[in-house]
Amino acid sequence: MSIAHNTFNSYYALLTQFKNFNFSYPFTVAIGLVNIIFLIYLLLRKQFLLTFLLIMTVFYTNARSDPLNISETDFHATVFISLTLSFLSLLLVKLKDELNHNLPYFERLILSSVFLLLGLYWTFNTLYLWNKFNFKVYGKIMGQDPLIYDNKQVAPLLNRLLTENDYYWIGPFELQELLFIKARPASKYYWFLPANSRDEKIKSEFITDLTKNRPKIIVFKTSDHFFGVKASEFGKVLIDFLNQNYFRINDLRSENLHLDIKFPKQRNFDFETDFYFDKLRKDEIIKELVEKEIIEIN
Among 268, 243, 257, smallest CA distance to 290 is for 257
Q: Are residues 135 and 10 in the same domain?
A: yes
**Lowest model confidence (mean pLDDT) among 14-18, 44-48, 143-147:** 143-147
Q: What is the mean pLDDT of residues 102-122?
A: 82
Q: Is 7 or 260 the better-scoring residue by pLDDT?
A: 260
Q: Are residues 175 and 278 in the same domain?
A: yes
pLDDT at residue 280 greater than cutoff 80: yes
Q: Identify the band that residue 75 occupies on the pLDDT scale cut at 50, 70 and 90.
A: confident
Asked if residue 196 belongs to a domain, the reply is yes
Total domain count, the chain: 2
Q: Are residues 276 and 162 in the same domain?
A: yes
Q: Are residues 89 and 117 in the same domain?
A: yes
Q: What is the mean pLDDT of residues 205-229?
A: 94
Domain's final residue, options 86, 118, 141: 141
pLDDT at residue 10 greater than cutoff 80: no
- Percentage of the chain lying above the pLDDT 90 cut: 34
pLDDT at residue 186 greater than cutoff 80: yes
Asked if residue 147 belongs to a domain, the reply is no
Phi first, then psi, for residue 21 (nearest 5°) are 50, 55
Q: Are residues 74 and 120 in the same domain?
A: yes
Predicted local distance difference test score (pLDDT) of residue 150: 60
Tell me the whole-structure pTM to 2 decimals.
0.60
Asked if residue 204 belongs to a domain, the reply is yes
**Lowest model confidence (mean pLDDT) among 72-76, 261-265, 287-291:** 72-76
Asked if residue 149 belongs to a domain, the reply is no
Among 83, 63, 85, 87, smallest CA distance to 74 is for 63
d(CA 76, CA 139) in angstroms, rounded, equals 26
pLDDT at residue 149 greater than cutoff 60: no
Asked if residue 288 belongs to a domain, the reply is yes
Q: Are residues 165 and 112 in the same domain?
A: no
d(CA 244, CA 25) in angstroms, rounded, equals 56
Q: Is 282 or 63 the better-scoring residue by pLDDT?
A: 282
Domain membership of residue 183 as a residue range:
155-297
Asked if residue 95 belongs to a domain, the reply is yes
Q: Are residues 126 and 258 in the same domain?
A: no
Q: Identify the band that residue 185 occupies on the pLDDT scale cut at 50, 70 and 90.
A: very high
Q: Are residues 159 and 292 in the same domain?
A: yes
Q: Which of 51-55, 171-175, 276-280 has the highest mean pLDDT?
A: 276-280
Assess contact for 214 and 279: CB atoms under 8 A.
no
Q: Are residues 134 and 163 in the same domain?
A: no
Beta strands 229-230; 225-226: pairing state: antiparallel
Q: Are residues 165 and 81 in the same domain?
A: no
Domain's final residue, options 86, 113, 141: 141
Asked if residue 241 belongs to a domain, the reply is yes
Q: Is 148 or 263 the better-scoring residue by pLDDT?
A: 263
Beta bridge partners of 184: 167
Asked if residue 148 belongs to a domain, the reply is no
Q: Three-class SS string for 205-225? A: HHHHHHHHCCCCEEEECCCCE
- Percentage of the chain lying above the pLDDT 70 cut: 95
Assess contact for 222 and 285: CB atoms under 8 A.
no
Distances in Å between the Cα of 78 and the Cα atoms of 81, 166, 239, 252, 292 are 5, 36, 35, 48, 45
Q: Are residues 233 and 136 in the same domain?
A: no
**Lowest model confidence (mean pLDDT) among 150-154, 161-165, 179-183:** 150-154
143: left (phi over 0), alpha (psi -120 to 50) or beta: left
Predicted local distance difference test score (pLDDT) of residue 187: 96
Domain's final residue, options 112, 141, 170: 141
Q: Are residues 23 and 89 in the same domain?
A: yes
Phi first, then psi, for residue 169 (nearest 5°) are -150, 140
